[in-house]
Amino acid sequence: MKRWPARQWFAKWCGLAVLVLLGGIWALPTFVRGIESNNLNRIPMPVPTSTATGTATSARARLRQAMTEYLQQESQPKSLTEADLVRLETELDDPAKRLAAIAQLAAFGWPKLYQVGSVIYVNSDPIQDRLQKRAADLAARHTDSATVRGALASPDFELQRWGIWFWQGGLYNAMRAAKHVPLTLRAFPLQLTEDEKIWTDMVPLLKRLAAADSLWRVQALDALGACSFVPLKDFFLGLIPEETEPMVILHLIKLTEPGTRPNQRPPTLDCRFNKELLRLLDSPEREVRHSALSMIGGNWQRPEMWRVEFSTKLAARVEEFRHSADPEERKDAEWALNGLKKSVVSLRDCEGDK
């Protein structure tokens, strides 16, 4: 048998290492995009930890309390056993019990159910991993339009998330069957098929979730953004003046930029968002100012497609909060200023900044 000299072996392995490295570099953008997409679609909007004083009995306060409790439960989900899955599988066949069964299955199996891109969730416990996979498969068994409609109309947060997710899949499948490719239909009139109309008739339910003080506003907005052949721009624009969550505003701005393709950065995004951040920083509500300062401070850590360039006017406004009478707000200001040092602060020609 031919024996290779040590030098040839060394050259061979170095060549293989270079090929592996180049392959990793080539695949990295796809992997990162998968992580970004997964994070943006599965992480719910942050909920303020406090409610406005004097409004504990208001509907808004009750909703915020329910949202907080839901997030606490999701952080420590109740585990399902084999017996639970057998029972829930039987309940799925009963229309009267189906939505309640889906809510339990989705609450347990959501890491497997809502996977997107190249990110794959694996539970360190192989038994739990298998149970979560089965729960996710069962939760995705009944995704017909009637079940999705019921989930979107439900007050249950878990069903709302499930409904938004599978509404997008249902609409896409209907469009694909009609040979209507979604990404080529922006700004074109379209004659919808009966199957497509079944799904687009649910748009008012999604608009309700997008406009309300809902846990899934961003997800509902993203779903509506995929339905761009339905005239929604005025609806999106009408939400911005009253919206107080920075990331929701950022989504709305991206959805209302003319001629912008998915994952393409709108040309006026930075200026428009700076204007809205200044509005939030002038709010009399402490929580609103806190959200704005938190967003500014964490801007540099976000995926590039969600990173914003700030104006010198906004940087000067943040500096003013260092002298706030509220010590917590001064901490928020320091956080925001540290973030500004790591972000781009160069906009000087935004409308109203001159």
Is pLDDT at 39 greater than 60 in this prediction? no
Residue 50: band (very low, low, confident or very high) from pLDDT cuts 50, 70, 90: very low
* Distances, alpha carbon 234 to alpha carbons 237, 238, 252, in Å: 5, 6, 11
**pLDDT for the residue 116:** 77
* pLDDT given for residue 264 in this prediction: 63
How far apart CA 354 and CA 351 sit, in angstroms, is: 7
- The answer to whether 340 touches 296, Cβ cutoff 8 Å, is yes
8-state DSSP, 347: E
User: What is the C-alpha separation between 260 and 252, in angstroms, rounded?
Assistant: 12
pLDDT score of 316: 94
Predicted confidence band of residue 20 (pLDDT cuts 50, 70, 90): very low
Per-residue pLDDT, 63: 57
CB 178 within 8 A of CB 196: yes
Query: Residue 259: pLDDT band by 50, 70, 90 thresholds?
Result: low
Contact 200, 192 (CB under 8 A): yes
| pLDDT surpasses 60 at 354 | no
pLDDT tens-digit readout, 282-291? 999 999 999 9
- pTM, two decimal places: 0.73
Give dist(CA 257, CA 269) in Å, integer: 8
The confidence score (pLDDT) of residue 56 equals: 33
pLDDT grade for 32, boundaries at 50, 70 and 90: very low
311 SS3 class: strand
pLDDT tens-digit series, residues 94-131? 999 999 999 999 999 988 999 877 777 888 889 999 99
Please report, for residues 99, 108, 164, 170, 178, the alpha-carbon distance to residue 202 in angstroms, rounded to integers and kept in the order given: 17, 26, 10, 11, 18
Instruction: Kindly report the average pLDDT of the chain as a whole number.
Output: 79
Q: Which residue intervals of the chain are DSSP H helices?
A: 6-42, 59-75, 82-92, 98-113, 126-139, 145-153, 157-177, 194-200, 203-211, 217-225, 233-239, 246-255, 269-281, 286-297, 312-320, 327-342
What whole-number distance in Å separates Cα of residue 205 and Cα of residue 209?
Answer: 7
Across 29-60, b (16+ Cβ under 10 Å) vs e yields: eeeebbebbbebbbebbebbeebeeeeeeeee
What are the pLDDT digits (tens) for 141-199?
999 999 999 999 999 999 999 999 999 999 989 988 888 765 545 545 568 889 989 99
Predicted pLDDT of residue 37: 35
* pLDDT at site 227: 77
Tell which wins on pLDDT, 257 or 273.
Answer: 273
pLDDT of the residue at 249: 94
Measured CA to CA, the distance from residue 165 to residue 183 in angstroms comes to 18
Higher-pLDDT residue of 79 and 30 is: 79
pLDDT at 2: 47
